[in-house]
Amino acid sequence: MQPAPTDASHPLLQELMESFEAGSGMHMSFDDLTGMFNGAHTDVPAMRLDAGHQFHACQYCELAKKPDWGRDCTRNKVAVNRLVVRRKTGLDGICHLGLFDIAEPLIIRDRVLGVFYYGSVVVKGQEKRAVARIRRYCGRMGYEPEPYLEALKAVHRIDPETIPRHRETLRTVARLARFFFDASGVRPDLYKVRALRYPYMDPQDVPYIVREAIAYIAGHLQEPFIVKDLADHLNCHPDFLGRKFKQAMGTDLSLYLLQARIERAKRLLANPKISIEDAADLSGFSDRFHFSKAFRRLAGMPPGEFQRQCLQPAAN
C-alpha cells in the first residue's frame, strides 16, 4: 500500500474532515468568510476543499435547498455566522428545519476567517422538537410539510451524550486548520472578511451565468485563461457574457478578472516563501513583463517593491 502524501500541496484538511465523517453519520463543512480557501488553487493548498465540504451537503439539506427554501437555509447559516464571529466561540443548535449542527470558528490572529460545521443530524429525544419546527415553518410559508417530515425519518440520529465529544472533534479540526494556515506563510490581514449575509449578494439577483463566471474565476486563477476562454467554457459569446457581467456587477469582466489576479498576487507576494516569478505564475500570468505592467497599473508600484514593503516588518 502506498503511503499517503504529506506535502503541503495535499488537501490535508479535507482528508481530516472525511476521516471524522466516516462511520459517524455526520457531515462536516467549512463556510469560508474570505474566499482564500475555496477553489482548486486556494492560497493554502493543505486547506483545499471540494464543493461537498464547502456547504451543507447531506440529502436532507439538498432537499431543503429548493429555490424558495434555499434563501432561508442561507439566512439561518448567516445568523449563526454572526453569532460565532461576534462571540469568537463555538455553539450548537437546531435549524429551522430540525437539523442539529455544531459550529466552531477558525480564528487566525484574533480574526474569524470562517466557520466549521459538523452535524446535519437529529438528536435522539428531540425528534418532536424537530417535527414541530418543520410544521411551524411550513405553516408560515404555505408549504406542505409531508415531504420533509418523510425525509427527516432517514436522517441520522445521534445520542445527546455524544455531543461534547463531537464538539471537541470539531475544535480539533479547527486547531489543525490553524496549524496548516500558519505553516503556509500566508498573511491573514490581507484578506477581507465578506459581509455576513449571502456570500457577495443574493443569488436570485444575479444571473446564473454571472454566478458561474465568478465561481470559475475564483477556482481557476492559476490558469492563464482570458475572457474568451471563460465564455467558451460557459458555452456563450464573450460579448453576451461581458454585457451580463457588467449589468450585474457594475464592472467590466476583463477588469474584474485582472483585479482578481492582482489581488491573489498581492497575497502571494506577502508570503516570504513565494518569489515574484512564482507569484506571477500562480496568479495566471503568462509572462513576467505582463505581470509587472498589470501589477504596477493596479497596485501603484512594481511587484518587487510591494513584496519588500510586505516583508519589511518581518525583517525588523
Angstrom distance (rounded) from CA 285 to CA 301: 17
Domain boundaries, the chain: 12-190, 206-315
SS3 241: helix
Look up residue 189 and give its DSSP letter. G
Contacts of 75 (CB under 8 A, 6+ apart): none
What is the pLDDT at residue 10?
62
Q: Which of 97, 39, 110 is nearest to 64 (CA)?
A: 97
Dihedral pair phi/psi, residue 90, rounded to 5°:
-80, 165
Amino acid making up residue 273: K
Angstrom distance (rounded) from CA 18 to CA 118: 11
CATH of domain 206-315: 1.10.10.60
What is the pLDDT at residue 253?
93
Q: Which of 226, 231, 181, 139 is nearest to 47 (CA)?
A: 181
Concatenating the DSSP letter of every residue in 7-46 gives STTS-HHHHHHHHHHTTT--EEEEEESSSSS-STT-SSGG
Number of Cβ within a 10 Å radius of residue 130? 20
CB 261 within 8 A of CB 283: yes
Angstrom distance (rounded) from CA 254 to CA 295: 15
Handedness of CA 314, 279, 16, 65 (dihedral sign): positive
Global model pTM greater than 0.85: no
What is the pLDDT at residue 27?
93
pLDDT (tens place) for every residue of the chain, 316 residues total? 343 444 445 688 889 999 999 988 999 999 888 866 655 446 777 888 877 788 777 777 777 766 455 556 777 788 888 899 889 999 999 988 889 999 999 999 888 989 999 999 999 999 999 999 889 888 887 788 888 899 889 999 999 999 999 999 999 999 999 998 888 877 777 777 765 544 434 444 567 788 888 888 888 888 999 999 999 998 889 999 999 898 888 889 999 999 989 988 998 898 888 999 999 999 999 888 999 999 999 989 999 999 998 887 544 4
Q: Which residue has the cell 477558525?
A: 106
